[in-house]
Amino acid sequence: MRVQKNFPGTRRFHFLDTSVRLYKAALKGDWPAAKEGLDKYPEAVTYSITRHGDKVLHIAAAAEHTGFLKELVKRMNRNELALKNFHENTAICFAAASGLVPIAEELVKNNKELPMIRGSKGMTPLCMAVLQGRRNMVAYLYSVTALIRLTPLERIDILVACISNDLYALTMIKSIVLHAFTDRDSIANSERLS
């Protein structure tokens, strides 16, 4: 059995020196520890630091450390904020599932397209929040999601999930229904004309 050494300059050392440090710092919300690693290796914000391909931003969002996440976001460009893990989820998907609105607000403030990026199973963050019954997150994501860009089926799925999870925000449901059926009728009319 060969033992891998942790000598400076080896890939394993680099991984331990950056990824493990960032992972632990994100879990604890320890920004000074993360900053030290990111000052040394700025590109580490894009590293996959878990076996699921999570980046430090995913971990910070899942761990619900808003202050840590705000500092991290300052170091990232809008494309880096949209990085996905191996399950196709962005950090806003983690925020949607946890229900912590300030994290979602910080992410969307820096990349307005995040609410439209589909995650696992092709679901939008809004749909994820609805399925988790995160009322405040649903209200926020509803306000920043371009419903017109959702397919009629996506809107109907969100509507059904809202009803199933007792999320009866009438103006939201009315808007989703209106968009879903308006699109369905326009699709049906265009098919008849063809």
Q: Which of 17, 34, 16 is nearest to 25 (CA)?
A: 34
Helices (H), 121-169: 125-132, 135-144, 152-164
Domain ranges within the chain, ordered by starting residue: 8-146
pLDDT at 96: 96
Task: Calculate the alpha carbon distances from 102 to 88, 105, 174, 175, 179 in Å.
Answer: 22, 5, 26, 24, 28
CATH annotation of 8-146: 1.25.40.20
What is the token pair recorded at 139? 């209200």
The Cα–Cα gap between 185 and 191 comes to: 10
Query: What is the greatest pairwise CA distance in the chain?
Result: 71
* Cβ atoms within 10 Å, residue 182: 13
pTM above 0.95, yes or no: no
pLDDT at 117: 97
The Cα–Cα gap between 50 and 59 comes to: 9
Per-residue pLDDT tens over the stretch 113-146: 999 999 999 999 999 999 999 999 999 999 999 9
Rounded to the nearest 10 degrees, the angle between the axes of helix 66-74 and helix 101-110 is 10
Mean pLDDT, contiguous 10-residue spans, the chain (194 residues):
45 74 94 94 91 95 94 96 97 95 97 97 95 92 92 87 76 60 52 46
Contact 144, 112 (CB under 8 A): yes
Enter the DSSP assignment of 123. -
